[in-house]
Amino acid sequence: MRKKIVAGNWKMNKTYEEALSLVSEIDNMVKDEVNGDVTVIVTPPFPYLQSVGKLVQGNDKMHLAAQNVSEYESGAYTGEVSASMLKSVGVEYVIIGHSERRLYHHEDAQTLYKKMKLAIAQGLKPIFCCGEPLEERDADRHFEYVGQQLKDSVSYLSNEEFNQIVVAYEPIWAIGTGKTASSQQAQEMHAYIREQLSRMFDAEAAFNCTILYGGSCNPGNAQELFAQEDIDGGLIGGASLKSRDFTDIIKSF
Ligand code: PEP
């Protein structure tokens, strides 16, 4: 059975107080309104992880993720946060390969592979992001581009490691732009990703892999996106900063 997931990526937003009230609101709304079998993930900035984690501890639908993890195990890497540190404060998931990390922090495919391996070894579940820029889609090379991203980072995982990951398809032209991929565009890419994964790993594992859509997902378009055969939920940026919108997206399955 494929896990349904809605994950909110808060990025570099919210003060400590704002973060605590946001998560309390989400926690209450999820308790009151969400009946189905859905995993809700919140991804606050590093300094808030422990406090946010404590607030959602009693809610078995709510889970904690980090926005990044070091590719190194430990040692003299000023400013970095290791997988074991995240694990030790109750983090379960970690976003790896977000286009903003690839673009602004020059994270390459090999680095992303190393991050995934270390994270999995510590018992974390990577949410591996992939997705093409607008010029690749305009040139009709989007399948090739995303296929290569999977090949370069994901294909080196073992079958056991692959079972621990979630994939998020996030077309870069749709992130934070208000321009969503149509449900058809998203579905065909998700089906393609699943097909590629079934060539790299065993077919059952690929079938069971949760593949999220990300890119200007909101309460108005989530239902149609989530109804697609190969779309198992969403990775939500802007709309995850508003408890009402985020909860409405969670209720869109
Ligand atoms: C994201 O950055 O992961 C994202 C999907 O952002 P937004 O929902 O704001 O487009």
Q: Could you give the percent of the chain with pLDDT greater than 70?
A: 100
Query: Given a cut of 90, is residue 1 above it in pLDDT?
Result: no
Q: Is 4 annotated as a binding-site member?
A: no
170 annotated active-site: yes
Q: Please tell me which residue in 98, 132, 142, 190 is annotated as part of the active site.
A: 98
- Residue 179: pLDDT band (50, 70, 90) is confident
Pocket, ligand 1, Cβ cutoff 6 A: 9, 170, 175-176, 214-217, 235-239
Q: Sign of the CA dihedral 162, 168, 173, 175?
A: negative
CA-CA distances (angstroms) from residue 231 to 6, 159, 195, 205, 243? Answer: 11, 22, 13, 16, 22
- Rounded to whole angstroms, the Cα distance separating 203 from 194 reads 9
Calculate the average pLDDT of the chain.
97
- Rounded to whole angstroms, the Cα distance separating 88 from 72 reads 16
pLDDT value, residue 116: 98
Domain spanning 5-250: CATH superfamily: Aldolase class I (3.20.20.70)
pLDDT value, residue 10: 98
Q: Is 173 annotated as a binding-site member?
A: no
- Residue 76: pLDDT band (50, 70, 90) is very high
| Helices and strands (DSSP H and E) totals, the chain | 12, 8
pLDDT value, residue 198: 98
Query: Given a cut of 90, is residue 162 above it in pLDDT?
Result: yes
Helix (H, G, I), strand (E, B) or coil at 238: helix
* pLDDT 10s digits, 118-128: 999 999 999 99
Per-domain residue ranges of the chain: 5-250
Q: What separation in Å is there between the alpha carbon of 173 and the centre of ligand 1?
A: 10
Interior/surface letters 123-154, b for 16+ CB within 10 angstroms, e for the rest: ebbbbbbbbbeeebbeeeebbebbbebbeebb
User: Residue 203 has which token pair?
Assistant: 């077919």
DSSP annotation of 180:
P
Q: Convert the chain into a string of H (helix), E (strand) and C (coil).
A: CCCCEEEEECCCCCCHHHHHHHHHHHHHHHHHHCCCCCEEEEECCHHHHHHHHHHHCCCCCEEEEECCCCCCCCCCCCCCCCHHHHHHCCCCEEEECCHHHHHHCCCCHHHHHHHHHHHHHCCCEEEEEECCCHHHHHCCCHHHHHHHHHHHHHCCCCHHHHCCCEEEECCHHHCCCCCCCCHHHHHHHHHHHHHHHHHHCCHHHHHHCCEEEECCCCCCCHHHHHCCCCCCEEEECHHHHCHHHHHHHHCCC
- Residue 130: pLDDT band (50, 70, 90) is very high
Among protein residues, the one whose CA lies closest to atom 2 of ligand 1: 237
pLDDT value, residue 178: 87
* pLDDT 10s digits, 228-248: 999 999 999 999 999 999 999
* pLDDT 10s digits, 191-224: 999 999 999 999 999 999 999 999 999 999 999 9
DSSP per residue, 56-76: HTT-TTEEEEES---SS-SSS
* pLDDT 10s digits, 18-52: 999 999 999 999 999 999 899 999 999 999 999 99
Q: Please tell me which residue in 71, 100, 170, 190 is annotated as part of the active site.
A: 170
Q: What separation in Å is there between the alpha carbon of 174 and the centre of ligand 1?
A: 8
